Amino acid sequence: MKKIIGGGILILLVVYALPHLSWGRITIQPSEIITVTGEATKKQDNQIASFTAGVESVKDTKEAAVAEVNTKMTDLQTAIKNFGIESKDIKTQNISTYQDQGVYPMMQGTTSKKTNQWHVNNSIEITLRDTTKSTALNDLLNASGANNVNGPNFRVDDTNMAANSADLLAAAVKNATEKATTMAKAGNRSLGKMMSVNENGGGAVYPIAFAMAKDSVGGGSASVEPGTSTVSKSVTVVFELK
């Protein structure tokens, strides 16, 4: 036991007696990196058109207003389904019922009149998956009992966007690599390994407005062109510099 203690004391004395003995030092330097953003875009034909159609009724009683709206909306939805639109592509957008509580001036020189009329609104959104029928559906809606019609608004089919996502992402990464290579060469450096890749949000879609023109003689159906949308992907890539 005394030998063990004595040996330990001897080691401590040796270490203390050699304070300037150096065993070297290891330093880990952070890698030099370059961060770039890559982008890729593609024009895509629009495959879907959406319309909104609504009915508004103003009556002295709520029951009368509701009855008129319900009748016209039932006829409208029947006509749309007969046109070929499936139930899954008809969605209620808004329903509202309210009563006027205001006082409105009559003609100049007369007294004001208080109105308690009821306003009832019902509107639906219609998805058309065959854009070649856009003009025909637009005519049908405008000839119906709907007194508030909007559309068509064209867009890319979501399933088509998903099919293009992989190609667009690969193109965006390639674009980032080309940018990083150019920047590295400008600084007399070379590009090392790719350290990280992050997609910047979801794929953006920029629709291009459709064309619409009347017959030269006036009236008639509107000529509608679906046009295209620009689909894009963006990524942020970090590379090591050599």
Q: What is the pLDDT of residues 152-187, one digit of tens each?
A: 999 888 766 666 788 899 999 999 999 999 999 999
How far is C-alpha 22 from the chain's CA centre? 62
* Residue 237 and residue 176 in contact, taking contact as beta carbons nearer than 8 Å: yes
Map out the domains of the chain as residue ranges. 33-45+159-241, 48-102+111-155
Whole-number pLDDT of residue 117: 92
Q: Are 51 and 138 in contact (CB under 8 A)?
A: yes
Give 127: exposed, middle or buried? Use CB within 10 Å, 0-12, 13-18, 19+. middle
Question: For residue 216, what pLDDT is reported?
Answer: 32
CA 102 vs. chain centroid, Å, equals: 40
Q: Which ranges in the chain belong to alpha helices (H)?
A: 2-17, 62-83, 134-143, 158-186
Q: What local confidence, expressed as pLDDT, does residue 165 receive?
A: 83
pTM over 0.75: no
| 234: Cβ contacts below 8 Å, ≥ 6 apart | 37, 38, 39, 172, 199, 200, 201, 204
pLDDT at 230 (0 to 100): 86
Give long-range contacts, CB 8 A cutoff, 24+ apart: 155-160: 155/46, 155/48, 155/49, 155/50, 155/205, 155/207, 155/229, 156/44, 156/45, 156/46, 156/47, 156/48, 156/205, 156/229, 156/231, 157/47, 157/48, 157/129, 160/44, 160/47
CATH of 33-45+159-241, one of 3.30.420.340, 1.10.3720.10, 3.30.530.20, 3.30.110.170: 3.30.110.170
φ, ψ dihedrals at 77, nearest 5°? -65, -35
- Average pLDDT, consecutive stretches of 10 residues, N- to C-terminus, the chain (242 residues): 50 49 60 93 90 95 96 96 96 94 59 76 96 94 94 83 80 96 93 93 55 39 77 93 92
CATH, domain range 48-102+111-155: 3.30.70.2970
